[in-house]
Amino acid sequence: GIQVEQSPPDLILQEGANSTLRCNFSDSVNNLQWFHQNPWGQLINLFYIPSGTKQNGRLSATTVATERYSLLYISSSQTTDSGVYFCAVEGYNTDKLIFGTGTRLQVFP
Amino acid sequence: DSGVTQTPKHLITATGQRVTLRCSPRSGDLSVYWYQQSLDQGLQFLIQYYNGEERAKGNILERFSAQQFPDLHSELNLSSLELGDSALYFCASSVPQMGTGAPGNTIYFGEGSWLTVV
């Protein structure tokens, strides 16, 4: 099945800093989503982005499907951005959304 | 609020017991997914239902079973519970691509059911 790797595994930032999270996947995908899991365990959708670029406030994401990676940009980070960021992908001919191992982000004031 | 409702939110039970987790998908969503999140295994796909039928199966144990009812709500049954079954169980739903059952759009997750087996 598809392998999903995320980097870095851990990231510590000071408030106001920018960061880039990466997701590599091993095969072509027809679905890619980014999620944020907050410290209370809630999984929140950030982007549905199988290809192209999207922006939502301080967050943006880019997926280069031909090169099998996606990037999540967080600008001017805030303490509320802390949590784990997951990339999840679904390949063609499968109905399984497979999650990466996540990037744990801690933002300090 | 994602619109996906899961009950119960927390559950503590003893080894060997059986529990049922319930999920109501977002209005209009035909596909329901179950995921297990444990500390050492990350987020693992268990099973997907599309309009009442099993669509895809992941790493779901034989002791676990699920179904989706005509009103589209779903239940995950966990039996002969072991300590290692302690985890956060998520339900998710989506609007599928027409005729495929595959998510053609964002998948929305419920808040999860915390299961502790003692």
Query: Pick from B14, B38, B41: which is nearest to B87 by CA?
Result: B38
Residue A7 has pLDDT above 70, yes or no: yes
Kindly report, residue by residue over B18-59, the tens digit of the pLDDT.
999 999 999 888 899 999 999 877 899 999 998 999 988 998
Q: Can you give the pLDDT at residue B99?
A: 55
Min distance A35 CA to chain B CA atoms (Å) = 10
Interchain CB contact of A99 with B (< 8 Å):
yes
Chain B hits for A86, Cβ within 8 Å: 43
**Which residue among A44, A95, A99 places its CB closest to the CB of B101?**
A95
Chain B hits for A96, Cβ within 8 Å: 45, 48, 56, 58
Angle at B4 between CA A102 and CA B9, to 5 degrees: 80
Kindly report, residue by residue over B63-112, the tens digit of the pLDDT.
999 999 999 999 999 999 999 999 999 999 987 555 554 445 678 999 99
Token readout for B32 is 């329901």
Interchain CB contact of A92 with B (< 8 Å):
no
Q: Can you give the pLDDT at residue B41?
A: 74
Token readout for A100 is 């990466």
Asked if the Cβ–Cβ distance from B106 to A33 is below 8 Å, we say yes
Q: Can you give the pLDDT at residue B92?
A: 95
Say which residues have a Cβ less than 8 Å from residue B109's Cβ, sequence separation at least 6: A35, A42, A43, A44, A45, B2, B4, B35, B90, B91, B92
Q: Can you give the pLDDT at residue B104?
A: 57
Please tell me whether residue B16 adopts helix, strand or coil conformation: coil
B43 and A41 in contact (C-beta within 8 Å)? no
Sign of the CA dihedral with B20 first, then B113, A30, and A28 last: negative
Percent of chain A with pLDDT over 70: 99
How many contacts does A have with B, using Cβ atoms within 8 A?
57
Say which residues have a Cβ less than 8 Å from residue B78's Cβ, sequence separation at least 6: B18, B19, B20, B21, B63, B64, B85, B115
Which has more pLDDT, B115 or A95? B115
Asked if the Cβ–Cβ distance from B106 to A45 is below 8 Å, we say yes
Chain B hits for A98, Cβ within 8 Å: 45
* Beta bridge mates, B50: B31, B53
Sign of the CA dihedral with B58 first, then B31, B9, and B63 last: negative
Query: Pick from A99, A94, A98: which is nearest to A37 by CA?
Result: A99
Across A5-12, average pLDDT: 97
Kindly report, residue by residue over A55-102, the tens digit of the pLDDT.
999 999 999 999 999 999 999 999 999 999 999 998 887 778 899 999
Beta strands in B15-86 (DSSP E): 19-24, 31-38, 42-50, 53-57, 64-68, 74-78
- Report which secondary-structure segment, H or E, holds A33: strand A29-37
